[in-house]
Structure 1
Amino acid sequence: MTKIKICGLMTIEDIQAVNQARVDFAGFIFAGGRHHISLEQALKLRTELDTNIPSVGVFVDASMSEMLKVVKSGAVSIVQLHGNESEETITILHNHGVKVIQVFKSPQSKVLRTQADYLMVDSGKGDGQKLNWNNLQTTPDILAGAIDLNNVGEAIEQVHPQIIDVSRGVETNNKKDPLKIKQMVNRVHEL
C-alpha cells in the first residue's frame, strides 16, 4: 500500500481533516511561503494531531539550531530538507536521532546518493509545478509536485513511490479541503 503525506497544514481544521482521513504523515512548513507556520503554531497543531501520525518539519537552508529546536520541542519527529543542505547536515541530524527526508528538485539530473532515510523528488519549492514522471532518473521514496485527485493514480502507476506528498492538490480556494483530503487518502491507500 502506498502511503500519503499531507503537507502545508496550518489550522486546527486541517488537523481534524487529516486525523479523520488517517493520513500517514503530516507536514508543517517552517520555510517561507504561503503555508509557513511558526513553532508556536506547530506545537498547537501537534497537540491536536493523532499521536500515531508522525509530523514532518519542512526546512529550506535553515540553521541546525533552528531545526533541532523544532525537533526537541516535540513539534516534529522528521526533518525534510528542501534546500541545498549538505550530507554533513544529515549526519548531524542522524546523530541527534532525527529521521531525514532529502528533497531533490531536478528530476532530469541524476540524484546523488544520500544518507537520508527518505529520498524525495519534487518539481520545485512547492510552487505547484507538475513533474515529468518519465524523466526521473531514479525511483524516489517520496513523490511530490502538483499531485491531485486527477493524476495521483498515474503518478503511482508510473513512479511506484512508497509515499505520495500532497499540499495544494487537496485545497479549494487556497485552503485545505477535508473532502479532497479524505478522497486523496482513500485513493492512495487503494493503490
Structure 2
Amino acid sequence: MVKVKICGLMTPDDVQVVNAAHPDFAGFVFAPGRHQISLKRAQQLRANLQADIISVGVFVNAPLDEMLAAISSHAISVVQLHGDEPEAIVQMLQERGAQVIRVFQNNYDHLPATRADYVMLDAGAGSGQQLDWHALPPVTKPLFLAGGLNPANVAAAIATVHPFAVDVSSGVEGKHGKDAQLTQAFVRNARLAANVQTIMEGNNQNE
C-alpha cells in the first residue's frame, strides 16, 4: 500500500483537514519559507494531530541541536533533510531514535551512498514543479515521490513510479491553507491507485 504524506501544516484548521483525510505522514516545515513554523507551534499542532499520523520535520542545513530539540519535544519523529547535510548528521539523528528522509533535487550523485531510512525525489522544495517520472534514477531504499503532485495526477504518478509514498503540499492548498476537498481527494486517489497496483501485481504473480 502506497503511503501518503501531507506537508506544510501551519494552523489548527490544517490539522483538522489532515485528521479528516487521515494520511500516513504529516509534515511541519522548520526551514525558512512561506510554510515555516516555530517548534512551539509544531508541538501544539502535533498535540491535536491523530496519534497514528507520523509527524515529519522539514529542515535545510539546520543546526543539529535544532533538529534534536524537535525530536526530543516529540513534535516530530522523522527528519526530512533538504540541504547538503553530511552523512554524519544523518547517523547522529538516527542514533537519537529518529528516522531520516534524505531529499534529492535534480542532483542524484550521492543517492546510492546515503544511509538515510528513506529517499525523496523532488523538483525543488515547494516549487510545485513536476518531475519527469520516466527519467528518475533507480532507488533501492523506500522512495517518497514529490514535486507537482495533486489529486488529478497522483494516480498516474503511482502507476508510473511505484513509490513507497507520495508527498504533497501546495497541490492540496486553497486560499487559506489546506483545502479539505483537495486533501481528501488526494488521499483517496492515491489509495485507490495503490489498490489497483496491488491487484495488478497479484494477477501478474498468478499468471
Q: Which category of TM-score, normalised to the shorter sequence, fits these structures?
A: over 0.9
1:160-171 to 2 correspondences below 5 Å: 160-171=162-173
* CA root-mean-square deviation: 1.4
Q: Which residue is 1:11 aligned to?
A: 11
Q: Work out the CA distance in 1 between the residues paired with 2:24 and 2:9.
A: 14
Which one has a larger percent helix, Structure 1 or Structure 2?
2
The alpha-carbon distance between structure 1 residues 36 and 74, as it changes in their structure 2 partners (threshold 3 A), is same
TM-score of the pair, normalised by structure 2: 0.88
1:43-62 to 2 correspondences below 5 Å: 43-62=43-62
CA radius of gyration, larger in: 2
Q: Which residue is 1:113 aligned to?
A: 113
3-state DSSP of counterpart to 2:183:
helix
Q: CA deviation at 1:89?
A: 0.7
1:67-78 to 2 correspondences below 5 Å: 67-78=67-78
| Higher mean displacement: 48-57 or 127-136 | 127-136
The alpha-carbon distance between structure 1 residues 175 and 94, as it changes in their structure 2 partners (threshold 3 A), is same
3-state DSSP of counterpart to 2:89:
helix
Q: Which residue is 2:181 aligned to?
A: 179
Listed one character per residue, the Cα deviations across residues 20-75 of structure 1 (whole Å, up to 9, x for unaligned) are 11110000000011100001110110010001111000000001000001111111
Contact kept, 8 Å, 1:5 with 1:23, in 2: the verdict is yes
Listed one character per residue, the Cα deviations across residues 89-115 of structure 1 (whole Å, up to 9, x for unaligned) are 111111111100000001675733211
Q: Work out the CA distance in 2 between the residues paired with 1:185 and 1:14.
A: 15
- Runs of 4 or more consecutive aligned structure 1 residues displaced over 2 Å after TM superposition: 107-113
3-state DSSP of counterpart to 1:120:
strand
1:1-191 to 2 correspondences below 5 Å: 1-106=1-106, 111-139=111-139, 141-173=143-175, 175-191=177-193
Q: Give, as a single letter, the amino acid of the residue that structure 1 aligns with 2:150.
A: D
Q: Work out the CA distance in 1 between the residues paired with 2:175 and 2:133.
A: 27
TM-score of the pair, normalised by structure 1: 0.96
Q: Work out the CA distance in 1 between the residues paired with 2:157 and 2:111.
A: 19
Listed one character per residue, the Cα deviations across residues 148-188 of structure 1 (whole Å, up to 9, x for unaligned) are 11211111111110100000010122621011111111111
Q: Work out the CA distance in 2 between the residues paired with 1:110 and 1:77.
A: 24
Q: Work out the CA distance in 1 between the residues paired with 2:132 and 2:7.
A: 21
Contact kept, 8 Å, 1:67 with 1:79, in 2: the verdict is yes
Q: Work out the CA distance in 2 between the residues paired with 1:109 and 1:39.
A: 32
Q: Work out the CA distance in 1 between the residues paired with 2:35 and 2:143.
A: 23
Runs of 5+ in structure 1 lacking a partner? none
Q: Work out the CA distance in 2 between the residues paired with 1:109 and 1:169.
A: 28
3-state DSSP of counterpart to 1:62:
coil
The alpha-carbon distance between structure 1 residues 182 and 107, as it changes in their structure 2 partners (threshold 3 A), is farther
Q: Could you tell me the percent identity over the aligned residues?
A: 48
Q: Work out the CA distance in 2 between the residues paired with 1:157 and 1:110.
A: 26
Runs of 5+ in structure 2 lacking a partner? 194-207
Contact kept, 8 Å, 1:104 with 1:121, in 2: the verdict is yes
Q: Work out the CA distance in 1 between the residues paired with 2:157 and 2:83.
A: 24
Q: Work out the CA distance in 2 between the residues paired with 1:174 and 1:84.
A: 32
